[in-house]
Structure 1
Amino acid sequence: MRAHLDSTRAQLEATNARIEKKAGRNLFLAIGVGLLLAAVFVGSLLFLESLFAVFVALLVGVAAVELATAFRVAGRRVPRIGVAVSALSMVAAAYFYGAEGLLLSLFAAAALLTIWRVIEGLIARTDVEPKTLIRDIFSGLFALVYVPFLGSFAILLRSAPDGEWWVFALVLVAVSVDIGAYAAGVTLGRHKMTPRISPNKTWEGFAGAAVAAMVAGVLITITALDQPWWIGVILGALVLLTATGGDLTESLIKRDLNVKDMSNWIPGHGGLLDRLDSLLPSTVVVYGLALILGVLS
């Protein structure tokens, strides 16, 4: 019996090693952590809007600091405290004052971060080159737009009537894209999609993601969003493109900064931004779709 158990364990470890080598992460560990994050997300989303706002603020705050840290590792001086304060302020503005508050907070955060970086440069050193200073400022502004600004659209979407189901649909379809691409890529992947940007992505994985996105989009649309099935097809197609594009964008950023993951504190996943990359642009697109359909009016 013991020999049989040892043999089975060895086979599982070998299988997991092959999957990890092909997909780039520990599958079983990633699933466990993913389920835990999903439980926290669903609990905060469905039961209390203010709790969901706190959850989003925590996510985008940490993710923004991760990106700022990656920039600093690459030699770009992006103020991490300034980015964190700006990120939390933008989420709060979206929660209390809506779309107008989010837009105004973006301008205020951009001004704050610019002034912060200039003062930091003046205090720390006197020989700052204008080209370097401009590069640092624009890197900080990119961090603000890419993480807290895009992420705050989830707050705007949640505030609509039945908005919790639209946010749930957004995450469900985006996760389905990730799972579909992962499963098809690991089992069927042969033809590289973007080998210079993301070597693990394949066209077979993209096809699996497309099928998963359409199925999830149609199912959640007719069961929870009270919309016709073809809206689900549009939802699935839009999130398929934005989630894939977001993933490739973050891969391009990491390649440019010469880092493997934004951080490594989430076992099996890397950093928070490594998990939010597909959700951030998708949030804006789903918000726009809901706006066109009159859900937000």
Structure 2
Amino acid sequence: MTQPPDASPPPPEDGARHGGGASLFGRRIRDRRADIERQVQAQVQATKAQLDATNEKIQQRTGRNLIFAILIGLVGGALLLVSLIVVKEIFMVFAAALAGFAGFEFATALRIAGLRVPRVALTVVGVVLVPAAYYLHASGEWVVAIAGILFLWLWRIAEDVSPSRRVGGPALVRDLVASALAILYVPFLACFSVLLVAQPDGQWWTLAALIVVVSVDTGAYAAGLSFGKHPMAPTISPKKTWEGFAGAAATALIAGVVLAIFMLHAPWWFGLVFGALILVSATVGDLTESLIKRDIGIKDMSSWLPGHGGFLDRLDSILPSVALAYVLYVIFEPLFS
């Protein structure tokens, strides 16, 4: 008797069995990978949104774009270190460029207040004054500064001859006074940095002064942002607080002592003197520029440096501080040698 055929399907080949399992395993892997990618993308977007929100809050509190400010500060600091440590003449070129840009920027800002300071002439004087101070020292700086003032005066008087630019009388006198002050405020003070660098081991004193200024700015920024409640000079700079000044004082004194011992090879007590005096000069320089901008009616000297404003907005604390550092070098360095 013939048996009926088996109705059950034949068993799958080994390849088919394994192929189906492999296909299911592959789909699970792809789904898992897609799920991980979605989670990572969501986390990245959330982090970016949080950083943007934090940066926006900081910008509203301080008026600065923190990211741009940090990037520009790092680049500028790297260039400064290379120019100071490698070849002093490179720092001279660096300082001349800054003096020229800052002078042009300051003269442009003064025009908003109705003061016409020759921009090209001030830029030329700033660029020439720096190498004069480096090679001719203090006496040469004074001679070139006086010659620069006379040069600006002659330039401005020559402009007044033109009927389209003629102001005459008190307005011309105000322009001449503003021209002299512009030279003394920007390139003349900037030249003390190269005067100091030109001295034996002067580059370390210059670098120490700059580090203390940065410490003052950082300490004031951090403490003011975290604890600032009591305005320091509300009519001049509303964002500055006494809490920020306290933070600046702490960082300045600590930086001064550390730098005095390890960089200037001076006693620790000189670090306290150095840090305290640079704290005062940096704060006065900052408030002075804030007062000038307030009188002119502007927030920043320019917008050339995103997150910082203009060149002079970054040099306001440095200019009087390097001049003070030069005086301290002349007085104290012979005692420590």
Q: TM-score, normalised by structure 2?
A: 0.86
Instruction: Give the alignment of 1:70-149 within 5 angstroms.
Output: 70-125=109-164, 128-149=167-188
CA contact (8 A) 1:160 1:295 kept: no
Secondary structure, counterpart of 2:114 in structure 1: coil
The equivalent of 2:332 in structure 1 is 293
The equivalent of 2:3 in structure 1 is none
Q: Alpha-carbon deviation of 1:13?
A: 1.1
Aligned mate of 1:268, from 307, 310, 313: 307
**Mind listing any 5+ residue stretches in structure 1 that lack a counterpart?**
none
Return the alpha-carbon distance in structure 1 between the equivalents of residues 97 and 83 of structure 2: 12
Aligned mate of 2:288, from 237, 243, 249: 249
Q: Alpha-carbon deviation of 1:251?
A: 0.5
Letter in 2 for 1:163: G
**Mind listing any 5+ residue stretches in structure 2 that lack a counterpart?**
1-38
CA contact (8 A) 2:160 2:168 kept: no
Q: Alpha-carbon deviation of 1:191?
A: 0.5
Secondary structure, counterpart of 2:304 in structure 1: coil
Return the alpha-carbon distance in structure 2 between the equivalents of residues 267 and 185 of structure 1: 22
Spell out, residue by residue over 1:40-74, the C-alpha distance to the aligned partner (whole angstroms, 9 max, x if none).
Answer: 00000111111110000001110011000001122
**Shift in CA distance, 124/153, structure 1 to aligned 2, threshold 3 Å:** farther
Q: Alpha-carbon deviation of 1:125?
A: 4.1
Spell out, residue by residue over 1:207-257, the C-alpha distance to the aligned partner (whole angstroms, 9 max, x if none).
Answer: 000001001111111001010011110110011001011000000001111
Instruction: Give the alignment of 1:50-89 within 5 angstroms.
Output: 50-89=89-128
Return the alpha-carbon distance in structure 2 between the equivalents of residues 40 and 155 of structure 1: 15
Spell out, residue by residue over 1:116-169, the C-alpha distance to the aligned partner (whole angstroms, 9 max, x if none).
Answer: 100111124485231100111111111100110001000110011111100110
For CA contacts below 8 A with separation 6 or more, give which structure has more relative contact order: 1
Instruction: Give the alignment of 1:168-183 within 5 angstroms.
Output: 168-183=207-222
The equivalent of 1:43 in structure 2 is 82
CA RMSD of aligned residues (A): 1.4
Letter in 2 for 1:14: A
CA contact (8 A) 1:193 1:202 kept: yes
CA contact (8 A) 1:217 1:236 kept: yes
CA contact (8 A) 2:159 2:166 kept: no
Return the alpha-carbon distance in structure 1 between the equivalents of residues 46 and 112 of structure 2: 44
Instruction: Give the alignment of 1:23-42 within 5 angstroms.
Output: 23-42=62-81
Q: Alpha-carbon deviation of 1:14?
A: 1.0
Return the alpha-carbon distance in structure 1 between the equivalents of residues 150 and 47 of structure 2: 59
Letter in 1 for 2:44: L
Q: TM-score, normalised by structure 1?
A: 0.97
Aligned mate of 1:9, from 48, 53, 74: 48
CA contact (8 A) 1:94 1:102 kept: yes
Return the alpha-carbon distance in structure 2 between the equivalents of residues 74 and 39 of structure 1: 35
